[in-house]
Amino acid sequence: MRTNYDTLTLEFSDDHILTIILDRPDAANSMNTQMGLELRELWADLYHDPSVARCIVLTGRGEKIFCAGGDLKQRNGMTDKEWLDQHAIFEQGIKSMMDCPIPIIGAINGAAFGGGCEIALNCDFLYAAGHARFALTEVTLGIMPGAAGTQNLPRAVGVARAMEIILTGLPLGAEEALGYGMVNQVCPGPELMDTVMATARRIAGNAPISVRQAKKSIRVATQLDLKSGYDFELEAYNRMVSTEDRLEGVRAFNEKRKPDFKGR
């Protein structure tokens, strides 16, 4: 897996945490074609080798903007074919992000508009700075959400709230997003990353195969009926029984010490 990108910065910690920074601050961290290609590649690489990290933190460069969505300066004057070709790259990136087996925490450090809001919604859960704002503004531009916004937002806030947010295109603040269930926690801006990293370290300290299997099972919960979902959960659970980590977890509990999980 490569770690040098033009539009992304990757930071690895000793706690098995990978921080991904959307890094186009001069363009409001917006998504141009290059960022789309790089996100698609990165998520695919993480799918192929999830041992790279035990938890991922996704954030934007700077203190004001997480991601402003698609780069409308680059898109200005695009032909229909050029627009669709670019969007196909974005679509593949979103699908690859959906398939990422590693937990992803969104650290929303500022405005998350349009496609930036959709990237945020595709994280497993979100912590936001108090000054963060969210909006799906696509209908004000003659398009509509196309990075799973119409799918993820109703799951997060309910159908009626999602209708209001998407059809008006109006922004909402971090506290409002918290009240709607879109955000898990709101923090003062300077404390955001410390708070997120504390949660990331907690996740990364757990058995990595167990965490990945639990994430996979939770992800199908809204897609299947209860019985089929439980059957899937049991299949995921049975994967744990023969792991070294399962033996280590029980042994550590009985020896009253912290487990040393290996991801095996």
- Verify that 168 and 237 share a domain, yes or no: no
Total domain count, the chain: 2
Angle subtended at Cα 204 by Cα 20 and Cα 12, rounded to the nearest 5 degrees:
35
User: To the nearest whole number, what is the mean pLDDT of the chain?
Assistant: 94
Question: What does pTM read for this prediction?
Answer: 0.92
The answer, yes or no, to whether residue 161 has pLDDT greater than 90, is: yes
Specify the CATH number for the domain of residue 103: 3.90.226.10
**Domain contains 229:** yes
Q: Give the DSSP letter string of 150-176.
A: HHHHHHHH-HHHHHHHHHH---EEHHH
* pLDDT tier for residue 241 given thresholds of 50, 70 and 90: confident
> Residue 51 carries which DSSP code?
G
The answer, yes or no, to whether residue 227 has pLDDT greater than 90, is: no
* pLDDT tier for residue 78 given thresholds of 50, 70 and 90: confident
- Verify that 50 and 76 share a domain, yes or no: yes
Specify the CATH number for the domain of residue 231: 1.10.12.10
In what helix (H) or strand (E) does residue 10 lie, and over which residues does it extend? strand 8-12
**Domain contains 13:** yes
* From 38-47, 170-179, 225-234, the region with the lowest mean pLDDT: 225-234
**Domain contains 125:** yes
Full domain range(s) for residue 239: 208-254
The model's pLDDT over 180-207, given as tens digits with 9 standing for 90+, comes to: 999 999 999 999 999 999 999 999 999 9
The model's pLDDT over 94-104, given as tens digits with 9 standing for 90+, comes to: 999 999 999 99
**Domain contains 261:** no
Locate tokens 């998520």: which residue? 43
- Verify that 231 and 159 share a domain, yes or no: no
- Verify that 65 and 185 share a domain, yes or no: yes
- Verify that 111 and 164 share a domain, yes or no: yes
Helix, strand, coil percentages for the chain (3-state, nearest 5)? 50, 15, 30
> Residue 50 carries which DSSP code?
G
- Verify that 221 and 104 share a domain, yes or no: no
In what helix (H) or strand (E) does residue 64 lie, and over which residues does it extend? none
Q: So which residues are the catalytic ones?
A: 118, 138
